[in-house]
């Protein structure tokens, strides 16, 4: 599929979408707050998925979910004691009217974070929509992403009778930790996508602004490392033991030393270390979790090799065994100029965001890059946009909250982009605008 898919919305379509989005703006806020109050962690978004599927089915979409969506794909980073339904979350809304045209995919993520939400000095708490789930919180805006995705589904549904092509709206599980997108790619959903769009709220872009020329996505990999040694009495015969805790500590310090690099964006972080059972026994087991990041994949791949050597050397020094389990990943990415120019022109016609910022560095990792790369690798067009919203505190913090006016702007922009892409490039009357 060529860049012909990057059609522009006409005046009649823009007018209709503006009216329709204004009409549902209060609903978008209610939906966002409902999901904010009931967050679920990655691969465990069971009730979140049920609620999304219910809304999509009521709109008339075909919905693929659970094992039918991810099929036999591997699920990285599952919990050590999975609950019923874990790993079969997320869903895909599908519309195919049978007319020849592009396959367009919008991706929004749906998982929350293991954070205790603030209970004072915080708008969700004062307005009554703070998390009702202990130690789980939507602290990255994914609740807003869900609302926008459902808003786009609602706005487009009456227009899809004129669509030329196929629409996919992916409500992706397990973005945090870089887990869900890999499974979606492995399940084959990106194999025929011609145009892919993903979004993120906030990230330093102020309210009323839109970042389209986005780069600076850090490639990342996440790991769990197991060290297995031999228990022994710490006073009577410590020499008979093989200390897994000390091996893990040695590895943790060594891993952090590898962050010294002239390559941009190189990061190493050991996030957790659990070892031992009691203070007077040589620890026979230790589990360490760490992540690596870099601005480019070659640097990440080199760092990966060095980290593995450091872990193996630490294990050998303490005569313990070790195993390394991948837990998640994301790629580097920069939006191509073609999709940037297209979205900038469409935003002007739609009036979704008053300002478009210059080149913006994402500065973190996002597993939508795996989806975008899969589409680009087969000749499709992909972009990941940042929707501006002032935030109360940083992402991944207990006081995180965002300006909810972004919900209407994001719904208008994405509805217009998708509607134009699924059109023949022409309009009929103002009363019945073509997609």
Band of the pLDDT at 158, cuts 50, 70, 90?
Answer: very high
Q: State whether residue 203 is helix, strand or coil.
A: coil
Does position 432 have pLDDT exceeding 70, yes or no? Answer: no
CB of 336 within 8 A of CB of 147? no
Residue ranges in 262-400 assigned as alpha helix (H): 297-317, 337-350, 368-377
pLDDT tens-place string over residues 309-358: 999 999 999 999 999 999 999 999 999 999 999 999 999 999 999 999 99
Q: What is the pLDDT of residue 435?
A: 53
In percent, the amount of the chain with pLDDT more than 70 equals 96
Q: What is the pLDDT of residue 114?
A: 96
In percent, the amount of the chain with pLDDT more than 90 equals 91
CB of 218 within 8 A of CB of 329? no
pLDDT tens-place string over residues 258-289: 998 888 889 999 999 999 999 999 999 999 99
Q: Is 358 exposed, middle or buried (0-12, 13-18, 19+ CB in 10 A)?
A: exposed
User: What average pLDDT does range 241-245 have in this prediction?
Assistant: 97
Band of the pLDDT at 429, cuts 50, 70, 90?
Answer: very low
Does position 424 have pLDDT exceeding 60, yes or no? Answer: no
CB of 388 within 8 A of CB of 349? no
Domain ranges of the chain: 3-216+332-421, 219-329
Residue ranges in 318-421 assigned as alpha helix (H): 337-350, 368-377, 406-421
Architecture per CATH, 219-329: 2-Layer Sandwich (3.30)
| 209-211/355-357 β-pairing | parallel
Q: What is the DSSP letter of 371?
A: H
Band of the pLDDT at 171, cuts 50, 70, 90?
Answer: very high
For residue 15, give both structure tokens: 């007018």
Q: Which residues contact 58 (CB under 8 A, 6 or more apart)?
A: none
Q: State whether residue 414 is helix, strand or coil.
A: helix
Architecture per CATH, 3-216+332-421: 3-Layer(aba) Sandwich (3.40)
pLDDT tens-place string over residues 61-88: 999 998 999 999 999 999 888 899 999 9
C-alpha closest to that of 152 among 126, 137, 170? 170
Please give the Cα distance from 413 to 343 (Å, whole number).
8
Q: What is the pLDDT of residue 2?
A: 52
Q: State whether residue 85 is helix, strand or coil.
A: coil
Q: Is 341 exposed, middle or buried (0-12, 13-18, 19+ CB in 10 A)?
A: middle
pLDDT tens-place string over residues 384-404: 999 999 999 999 999 999 999
Q: What is the pLDDT of residue 430?
A: 34
Please give the Cα distance from 179 to 191 (Å, whole number).
19
User: What average pLDDT does range 182-207 have in this prediction?
Assistant: 97
Computed over every residue of the chain, the mean pLDDT equals 94
Secondary-structure percent of the chain, ordered helix, strand, coil, rounded to 5: 35, 25, 40
Band of the pLDDT at 368, cuts 50, 70, 90?
Answer: very high
Q: What is the pLDDT of residue 261?
A: 84
Q: What is the pLDDT of residue 3?
A: 59
Q: State whether residue 352 is helix, strand or coil.
A: coil
pLDDT tens-place string over residues 103-144: 999 999 999 999 999 999 999 999 999 999 999 999 999 999
């Amino acid at each position: 599929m060529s860049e012909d898919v990057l059609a522009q919305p006409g005046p009649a379509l823009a007018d209709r979408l503006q009216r329709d989005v204004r009409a549902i703006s209060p609903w978008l806020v209610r939906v966002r707050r409902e999901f904010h109050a009931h967050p679920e962690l990655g691969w465990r978004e069971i009730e979140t998925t049920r609620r999304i599927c219910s809304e999509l089915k009521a709109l008339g979409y075909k919905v693929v979910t659970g094992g039918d969506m991810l099929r036999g794909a591997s699920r990285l980073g599952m919990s050590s004691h999975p609950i019923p339904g874990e790993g079969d979350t997320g869903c895909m809304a599908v519309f195919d009217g049978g007319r020849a045209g592009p396959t367009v995919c919008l991706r929004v993520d749906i998982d929350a974070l293991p954070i205790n939400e603030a209970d004072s000095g915080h708008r969700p708490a004062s307005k009554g929509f703070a998390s009702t789930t202990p130690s789980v919180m939507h602290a990255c805006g994914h609740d807003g992403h869900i609302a926008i995705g459902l808003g786009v589904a609602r706005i487009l549904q009456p227009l899809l009778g004129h669509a030329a092509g196929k629409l996919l709206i992916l409500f992706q599980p397990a973005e945090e930790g870089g887990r869900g997108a890999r499974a979606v790619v492995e399940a084959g959903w990106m194999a025929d996508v011609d145009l892919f769009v993903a979004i993120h709220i906030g990230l330093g872009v102020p309210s009323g602004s839109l970042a389209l020329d986005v780069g600076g996505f850090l490639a990342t990999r996440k790991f769990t490392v197991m060290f297995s040694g031999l228990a022994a009495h710490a006073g009577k015969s410590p020499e008979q033991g093989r200390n897994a805790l000390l091996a893990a500590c040695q590895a943790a310090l060594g891993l952090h030393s590898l962050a010294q690099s002239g390559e941009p964006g190189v990061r190493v972080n050991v996030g957790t270390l659990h070892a031992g059972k009691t203070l007077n026994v040589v620890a026979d087991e230790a589990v360490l979790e760490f992540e690596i990041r870099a601005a480019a994949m070659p640097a990440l791949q080199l760092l990966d090799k060095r980290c593995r050597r450091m872990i193996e050397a630490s294990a050998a020094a303490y005569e313990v065994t070790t195993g390394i389990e991948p837990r998640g990943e994301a790629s580097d990415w920069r939006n191509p100029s073609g999709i940037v120019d297209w979205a900038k022109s469409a935003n002007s016609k739609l009036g979704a965001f008053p300002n478009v910022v210059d080149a913006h560095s994402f500065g973190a990792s996002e597993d939508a890059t795996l989806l975008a790369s899969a589409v680009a690798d087969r000749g499709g067009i992909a972009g990941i946009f940042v929707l501006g919203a002032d935030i109360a505190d940083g992402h991944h913090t207990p006081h995180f909250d965002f300006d909810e006016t972004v919900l209407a702007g994001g719904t208008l922009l994405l509805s217009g982009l998708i509607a134009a892409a699924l059109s023949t490039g022409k309009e009929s009357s103002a009363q019945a605008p073509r997609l």
